[in-house]
Structure formats: C-alpha cells, structure tokens
C-alpha cells in the first residue's frame, strides 16, 4: 500500500505554500462567510484505514455533492423509471445553465447539474412520506453518523437568491417534468444543498460507492449495479463543464460542490475528500483539483 499519510501530508504542505488564485463562492451570501484558508484532505480505504491532514473535522456546505445522495436515494426507490425524466449524458455547460433545457424539451442532460437534480428532488418529494427528514436519515445511514444536519441559514440564503433555480424549476414545470409545486421542490433542493459535513463524514458517506454498495456500517445501502451506474455518472458528469478536465487530470469518478468540497473514489480501493473553499473559474475547488491530480499521479491510482 502506498504511504498515503506521507503523500497527503506533502501535497497539503506544498499547496499551502502556493498562491491560491481561486475565489470563495458568494452568489449564495452565506457561503461567502467561510474562511478561504481552510484546507483538509481525508482518505479512507476499503480495508478500514483512514488518513487525514488539515481541516478535516470542520463541517462545510456540501452543496452539489448532495446531488449524488439524492440520485442514489431516488434510484434505489424507483429504479430505471428515473431515466425517463433525466438523461445520463455530460452537459459540457455550467451547473445552472438554462438554454439546453429549453432546447431538449425539459429533459435534463444528467442528474448532477441543477436541472437534473431538481427533477430528482421532485421524484423524492413525490415518493417520500417526510421528504427532508427521510433524506437526511438516508445520508446519515450512508455515513454511519446521526449528527449530520441541514443548515437552515444556508438554505434560506439560497432561497432568497436562487433566481436561476426558480427559472429552471419553472421551465421544467412548463415541460411537465415537475409533478409537485415549484416552491415545494426547491425547498427540498435548497435544503439538500445546505447539508453540512466534514471531510471525514463525506468520505464515509461515499464508502458505499467504492465498496459495491456496502456502507460503512456493513449493510448493503445500494445494490452493486446502482453503485456502478452512479460512479459512471460521477465520472462523466460530476464536475460541471470541467468533467473532461477532471478525468484528464485526476481520472476518478467524483463530485464537487461550490462549498469547495470534492469527493473522488477508486472502486475497490479508497475514497478521498478534499475541502478548500476558493473555486476556479469553472466552480471547482482550486486546491482540491490540484491536490487530487497530484495524489493520483503520486499513487499511480487513477482508473486509467
């Protein structure tokens, strides 16, 4: 096994001495309050070992990383019927892009961009008895940690500034690809994005995707096939219009969020989570992208 601790220590220390040219997202005002200096790397492997360096125990806003959890829950609930309402192709566009949706008649390109995640949120609102509660319980189950919660202030901050998400939801509604009221679906969506987790909790929650659907606590949270399909979607669609670049530089399935988190995984081996709030111009963590590029190069462990 590579000396993971040494490798992540070196990457963390080296990046800390370089200039971070990214910018902390502030289009959701609450996110802009985060300290841009925080930086953590956490790795857990399928043999039960874990390694960490930096600010791995500070909870942060997972934002779009939550789209993997909502997709997993909706896919587990309703199986392949899901793909009638959302496609599985990369979009090559920013996460909140609107015109593709108009051109493609209300069928989002994939579940990891906002339009697709809003359709998935609609499925969960239709299928769950207590949507927000049931969803947070699902995430807690994946992570094996009952302390994970929504941040109501972040959800509210996003609601009052979420003009593009309202536009997307209304467009979906006009194409009859939204069954529930726009306000109800977006309330769920803003809450899922507001979930706060640490690097450690995220790595634990993604364990099932590296481990054929078997969670941290040893139960089969997802089927093997669901884990395989979701990993494929992460690889091709997990980084907005930088998915090709992430495959090229890092070579792992993964998902980023505008809170500065990135989770990536090598099936059968490990999950690695990085968190550094300043984002590059495509909305992905500037240090996170570099840390992961260096990590898979150093450990020779991309899927390619």
Residues noted as catalytic? 64, 67, 189, 240, 258
Q: How many residues bind ligand GLU (CB under 6 A)?
A: 11
Which phi and psi angles does 52 have, rounded to 5°? -150, 155
Q: Is 60 in the site for ligand GLU (CB under 6 A)?
A: no
Q: Is 111 in the site for ligand GLU (CB under 6 A)?
A: no
Q: Is 63 in the site for ligand GLU (CB under 6 A)?
A: yes
Q: Is 158 in the site for ligand GLU (CB under 6 A)?
A: yes
Q: Does the CA dihedral 59-62-68-71 come out positive or negative?
A: positive
Q: Is 75 in the site for ligand GLU (CB under 6 A)?
A: no
Nearest CA-CA partner of 243 in 261, 259, 256? 256
Q: Which is nearer to ligand GLU, 50 or 161 (CB)?
A: 161
Residue 178, burial from CB neighbour count under 10 angstroms (0-12, 13-18, 19+): buried
Q: Which of 68, 72, 202, 258 binds ligand GLU (CB under 6 A)?
A: 258
Q: Which is nearer to ligand GLU, 25 or 148 (CB)?
A: 25
Q: Which of 51, 95, 97, 239 binds ligand GLU (CB under 6 A)?
A: 95
Q: Is 64 in the site for ligand GLU (CB under 6 A)?
A: yes
Closest separation between CB of residue 124 and ligand GLU, Å? 16
Alpha helices, H only, the chain: 4-16, 66-78, 99-103, 114-127, 131-143, 152-161, 163-174, 182-194, 199-205, 207-210, 224-237, 243-249, 286-298
Write b or e for each residue in 9-19: b if 16 or more Cβ atoms lie within 10 A of its Cβ, otherwise e. bebbeebeeee
In the complex, the residues that contact ligand GLU under the rule CB under 6 A are 63-64, 95-96, 114, 158, 165, 193, 257-258, 283
């Amino acid at each position: 096994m590579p000396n993971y601790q040494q490798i992540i220590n070196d990457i963390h220390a080296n990046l800390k001495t370089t200039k971070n040219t990214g910018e902390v997202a502030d289009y959701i005002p609450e996110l802009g309050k985060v300290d841009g200096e925080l930086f953590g790397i956490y790795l857990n492997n399928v043999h039960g070992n874990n390694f960490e360096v930096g600010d791995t125990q500070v909870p942060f806003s997972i934002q779009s990383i939550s789209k993997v959890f909502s997709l997993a829950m909706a896919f587990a609930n309703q199986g392949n019927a899901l793909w009638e309402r959302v496609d599985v192709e990369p979009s090559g566009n920013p996460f909140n892009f609107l015109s593709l949706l108009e051109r493609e008649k209300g069928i989002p390109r994939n579940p990891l961009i906002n339009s697709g995640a809003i359709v998935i949120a609609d499925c969960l609102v239709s299928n769950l008895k207590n949507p927000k509660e049931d969803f947070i319980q699902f995430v807690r189950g994946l992570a094996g940690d009952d302390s994970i919660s929504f941040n109501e202030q972040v959800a509210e901050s996003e609601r009052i500034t979420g003009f593009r998400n309202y536009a997307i939801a209304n467009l979906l509604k006009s194409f009859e690809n939204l069954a529930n009221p726009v306000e109800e679906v977006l309330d769920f969506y803003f809450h899922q994005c507001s979930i706060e987790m640490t690097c450690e909790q995220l790595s634990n929650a993604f364990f099932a995707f590296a481990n054929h659907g078997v969670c941290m606590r040893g139960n089969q949270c997802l089927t093997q096939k669901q884990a395989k399909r979701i990993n494929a979607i992460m690889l091709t669609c997990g980084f907005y219009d930088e998915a090709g670049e992430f495959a090229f530089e890092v070579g792992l399935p993964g998902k980023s969020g505008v809170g500065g988190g990135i989770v990536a995984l090598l099936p059968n081996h490990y999950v690695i989570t990085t968190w550094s709030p300043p984002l590059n111009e495509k909305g992905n963590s500037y240090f996170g992208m570099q840390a992961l590029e260096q990590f898979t190069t150093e450990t020779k462990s991309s899927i390619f």
